[in-house]
Homo-oligomer: A and B are copies of this chain.
Amino acid sequence: MPPAPDDRRFTDDDMQSALRNRELPLEALRYDVTPTGLHYLLGHFDIPAVNQDSWSLEIGGLVARPGSFTLDDLRQMPSSSMAVTLECAGNGRSLLDPFPGGQPWRSGAVSTAVWNGVSLAHLLQAVEVSSEAVEIVFTGADRGVEDGVEQRFQRSLPTREAAQADVLIAYEMNGESLPPQHGSPARLIVPGWYGMASVKWLVEIDAVSTPFDGFQQWSYEIRQDENVSGERITRMLPRALMEPPGIPGDAGRRVRGADVALRGRAWSGTSGIVRVEVSMDDGETWFDAAVGQPVGPKAWSGWHGAVELPRPGDYVLRSRATDADGRTQPTEPRRNVWGYQNNVCERVPVVFAPE
């Protein structure tokens, strides 16, 4: 039976975007560290063809000693490794109705990988950033036209953020050289921030005296009116997700027993996760789940719990995270023009059908 016309919410452009980019399949929440080929992926433009043998990273602007660094140069510097949970700022966007446009994520634009590379602070010290610099601008090798503007992908960080010890120029992911789609040969990793800050295919770093206002800077804003500037997006709001219980089915997940064990992950960009709750009645009532240790200081925490379904039938399971700053996920979506930061509690329809 074809869907009712009203159920059709997405265009060919939306579909092309969805097929180029990719979510974490939620059963892969089972892995502490997401296997490389399962990590979520968002690119604004094509994956560029970068030759890592001739690649170099140019560092300039307001610095005492502008420099050019090859991959070998980076590999010879002290390195550090860190498990980092990255999430797209648009995660949850297609749960909004009407759909605001843009990459039509459901809830799976999040993953955790172990990144290895050089501390950005170390590099910035090496080139001696001037005290007049207020921001550091990062430029990727990827190029395209977005909303009529031809551009390379560029983002900035305030100098105090760029100087944080955990900001990395990463050249390895999960123990191997970066794959093409994750920014080969080197990329920025900004723990705690939404993914747009972690510029891929990095080719240039510039210290600047005035705040950068490029396309990718103002297009990541929380706007209530399309034409009125809003708050710039920085760190991840709290969110919990569960490994979907049972097996996939036409009308929702099918579970066979009344006792349903639940487990999943939860994270926040500003502090640790202190509480995860689960619901089996679409958020009417909530039960506490147990929160485990995070996979790393900048990575998600595991959690586990259980619900007992009183009788066969349809249920909507939900999970909800609270972080140490007291921020809790909303049970209804919050809307803004471009559909960012929709961290509404997930809804997982299940059918309890005993054999």
Chain A positions within 8 Å of B, measured between CB atoms, are: 2-3, 5, 7-16, 18-20, 22-23, 25, 27-28, 30, 35-39, 43, 45-47, 49, 94, 98, 101, 104-106, 108, 143-148, 150, 179-182, 244, 247-250, 254
Known contacts A12-B9, A37-B37: A247-B19 contact under CB 8 Å: no
Known contacts A7-B11, A19-B105: A28-B180 contact under CB 8 Å: yes
- Pairs A–B under 8 Å by Cβ, sample size 27: A2-B101, A3-B11, A7-B11, A9-B11, A10-B11, A10-B15, A15-B106, A18-B18, A19-B22, A19-B104, A19-B108, A22-B22, A25-B46, A25-B47, A27-B49, A28-B180, A35-B179, A35-B181, A36-B37, A36-B179, A37-B39, A37-B179, A37-B181, A45-B247, A143-B247, A148-B250, A150-B249
Q: How many whole Å from A319's CB to the nearest CB in chain B?
A: 18
Known contacts A10-B9, A20-B25, A94-B15: A247-B35 contact under CB 8 Å: no
- Looking at the complex, which one of B9, B13, B23, B181 makes contact with A38 (CB distance below 8 Å)? B181
- Looking at the complex, which one of B2, B14, B248 makes contact with A144 (CB distance below 8 Å)? B248
Q: How far is the CA of A229 from the CA of B296 in the complex (A)?
A: 54
Q: Please indicate the chain B residues that have their CB under 8 angstroms from the CB of A22 in the complex.
A: 19, 22
Q: How many whole Å from A26's CB to the nearest CB in chain B?
A: 9
Q: Please indicate the chain B residues that have their CB under 8 angstroms from the CB of A98 in the complex.
A: 2
Q: Please indicate the chain B residues that have their CB under 8 angstroms from the CB of A43 in the complex.
A: 25
Q: Please indicate the chain B residues that have their CB under 8 angstroms from the CB of A7 in the complex.
A: 11-12
Give 19 A-B pairs besides A25-B43, A144-B249, A145-B249 with Cβ atoms closer than 8 angstroms.
A3-B13, A8-B11, A9-B11, A10-B15, A12-B94, A15-B15, A15-B94, A16-B106, A18-B18, A20-B23, A25-B181, A30-B49, A35-B180, A36-B179, A37-B37, A37-B39, A38-B47, A38-B180, A150-B249
Q: Please indicate the chain B residues that have their CB under 8 angstroms from the CB of A108 in the complex.
A: 19
Interface centre among A9, A19, A143 (most CB of B within 10 A): A19
Cβ contact within 8 Å between A247 and B150: yes
Q: Please indicate the chain B residues that have their CB under 8 angstroms from the CB of A248 in the complex.
A: 45-46, 144-145
Known contacts A14-B15, A19-B106: A150-B254 contact under CB 8 Å: yes
Q: Please indicate the chain B residues that have their CB under 8 angstroms from the CB of A14 in the complex.
A: 10, 15
Q: How far is the CA of A32 from the CA of B36 in the complex (A)?
A: 20
Q: How many whole Å from A250's CB to the nearest CB in chain B?
A: 6
Q: How far is the CA of A117 from the CA of B234 in the complex (A)?
A: 47
Interface centre among A5, A18, A45, A179 (most CB of B within 10 A): A18
Q: What 3 A-B pairs come out closest when comparing CB atoms?
A: A145-B249, A37-B37, A10-B10
Q: Which residue of B lies closest to A25 (CB)?
A: B20
Q: Please indicate the chain B residues that have their CB under 8 angstroms from the CB of A244 in the complex.
A: 46
Q: How far is the CA of A105 from the CA of B244 in the complex (A)?
A: 24
Q: Please indicate the chain B residues that have their CB under 8 angstroms from the CB of A254 in the complex.
A: 145, 150
Q: How far is the CA of A81 from the CA of B20 in the complex (A)?
A: 29
Q: How far is the CA of A7 from the CA of B181 in the complex (A)?
A: 30
